[in-house]
Amino acid sequence: MNFNSTPIDWHQVHNVLDAAQRIMLTTHENPDGDGLGSEVALFHHLREIGKDARIINYSSLPDEYSFLGGDDIFETFNKNKQLDWLKKVDLVIIFDVGDFNRVRNIKDVIEQYKLKTMNLDHHPHPEDHPFTHNVVNIDAAATGCMVFDYLQIARSEPLTKAICDGIYTAVMTDTGCFRYSNTDSKSHTIAMECLDKGVNTHEIYQLVYENSSKARVSLLGNILTTLNYELEGQLAWFIITQDMMHQASASSSDVDGFSDFVRTIKGVEVALMIYEQSYESCRINFRSKGKFRVSDIAKALGGGGHAFAAGSVIEGSLADLKEKVVKLTKQMIMKQAGAQE
């Protein structure tokens, strides 16, 4: 069933969820506030109505999001420990994934046991998507907005604070604290609803954005001294090597938000991060102020995302990929600039 349309018929979506008893909730590797917040909001609702629901993610929970429930709610994928439960799952709901491969080894279990899936996302997906049910709204500011819409028709009781903590975290983080171009009136309406339910918005902001580790700050300082500017300063790009990570004692979650920060530099229209995840693969991240569509560049590299926030993971060494990625980015920016003249 494909719900890839606007408006989504949430009653049909509800029928699918209502028919399932054992439900697994998951999101992409290196999860962000939208994926995690969306999981938490729906988890509390499903548990409240008697469903056997569990959150199982490929990656461990980042420290800054532990306020959402920590180990009491979030499980890190461990096939040996969870397989007996997983084999009998009626429905796997995947949030904010962008690409099915981003759930990593969880995908293997889903395919091996032919588990039914529901993709709940605001990223575009191809027509030949692998999901049993594809629920997509690319106009939604965050996947958390979609969860909010679903709960409006699914619940007979008002939203609880625990549910709203998740929804607010999702919307706040994916709109850049209501600063990004995807912020709309709906985002603020949802925020008002969450405030009315007692969500401590100031505390959530502090926990997510004012809780940087010393390792993260050290790594950021290193990056800012090695920034590269191209195209008269419109493109700013940087690399993060494994050696830089080791020197700073940083983890993969410490790099989140660096592209957003570089984008704030005066004159920079596009920020590009090339992160050496391992000696055999690199994570590419693009952020644009709005003049240039970076999703086109990400797609050319096998990835995807939103028009002004996109990325990809590419197999290969940093030495082999760096020049290729920077060259392609420059070419596509210049092509778009030429088309705008």
CATH number of the CATH domain containing 132: 3.90.1640.10
The answer to the question of residue 4 being in a domain is: no
CATH number of the CATH domain containing 301: 3.10.310.30
**Do residue 114 and residue 128 come from a single domain?**
yes
**Do residue 204 and residue 220 come from a single domain?**
no
**Do residue 167 and residue 256 come from a single domain?**
no
The answer to the question of residue 68 being in a domain is: yes
Instruction: Give pLDDT, residue 3.
Output: 59
Whole-model pTM over 0.85:
yes
The last residue of one of the domains, among 163, 190, 209, is: 209
Owner of token pair 């548990």: 47
**Distance (Å, whole) CA 172 – CA 167:** 8
The answer to the question of residue 98 being in a domain is: yes
Calculate mean pLDDT across residues 310-335: 95
**Do residue 200 and residue 218 come from a single domain?**
no
The answer to the question of residue 30 being in a domain is: yes
Q: How many domains does the chain divide into? A: 2
3 state SS for the chain? CECCCCCCCHHHHHHHHHHCCEEEEEECCCCCHHHHHHHHHHHHHHHHCCCEEEEEECCCCCHHHHHHCHHHCEEECCHHHHHHHHCCCCEEEEECCCCHHHHCHHHHHHHHCCCCEEEEECCCCCCCCCCCEEEECCCCCCHHHHHHHHHHHHCCCCCCHHHHHHHHHHHHHHCCCCCCCCCCHHHHHHHHHHHHCCCCHHHHHHHHHCCCCHHHHHHHHHHHCCCEEECCCCEEEEEECHHHHHHHCCCHHHHCCHHHHHHCCCCCCEEEEEEEEECCEEEEEEEECCCCCCHHHHHHCCCEEECCEEEEEEECCHHHHHHHHHHHHHHHHHHHHHHHC
The last residue of one of the domains, among 174, 194, 209, is: 209
| Total length of the chain | 341
Spatial contact of 148 and 167, defined as CB atoms under 8 Å apart: yes
- Distances in whole angstroms, Cα of residue 189 to Cα of each of 32, 131, 159, 184: 22, 31, 14, 9
Confidence band (pLDDT; 50, 70, 90) for 142? very high
Average pLDDT over the chain reads 94
**Do residue 294 and residue 311 come from a single domain?**
yes
**Do residue 184 and residue 219 come from a single domain?**
no
**Do residue 237 and residue 301 come from a single domain?**
yes
Owner of token pair 């990929």: 321
Buried b / exposed e along 123-135 (16+ C-beta atoms within 10 A): bebeeebebbbbb
**Do residue 182 and residue 295 come from a single domain?**
no
**Whether pLDDT at 200 is above 90:** yes
- Distances in whole angstroms, Cα of residue 338 to Cα of each of 10, 266, 292, 334, 335: 42, 22, 11, 6, 5
The answer to the question of residue 80 being in a domain is: yes
| Least confident window among 1-10, 15-24, 261-270 | 1-10
User: CA nearest 268: which of 291, 299, 301?
Assistant: 291
Calculate mean pLDDT across residues 157-164: 97
**Whether pLDDT at 152 is above 80:** yes
**Do residue 169 and residue 279 come from a single domain?**
no
Instruction: Give pLDDT, residue 1.
Output: 57
The better pLDDT of the pair 7, 200 is held by: 200
**Distance (Å, whole) CA 171 – CA 191:** 8
Q: Is the dihedral of CA 244, 302, 334, 258 positive or negative?
A: negative
Calculate mean pLDDT across residues 287-313: 92
The last residue of one of the domains, among 186, 209, 232, is: 209
**Do residue 85 and residue 166 come from a single domain?**
yes
The range of the structural domain enclosing residue 256 comes to 214-340
Calculate mean pLDDT across residues 53-66: 95
| Least confident window among 2-6, 60-64, 321-325 | 2-6
Give the whole-number percent of the chain exceeding pLDDT 70: 98
The answer to the question of residue 2 being in a domain is: no
**Do residue 158 and residue 234 come from a single domain?**
no
The answer to the question of residue 1 being in a domain is: no
**Do residue 148 and residue 274 come from a single domain?**
no
Buried b / exposed e along 257-280 (16+ C-beta atoms within 10 A): bbbbebbeeeebbbbbbbbbbeee
The answer to the question of residue 174 being in a domain is: yes
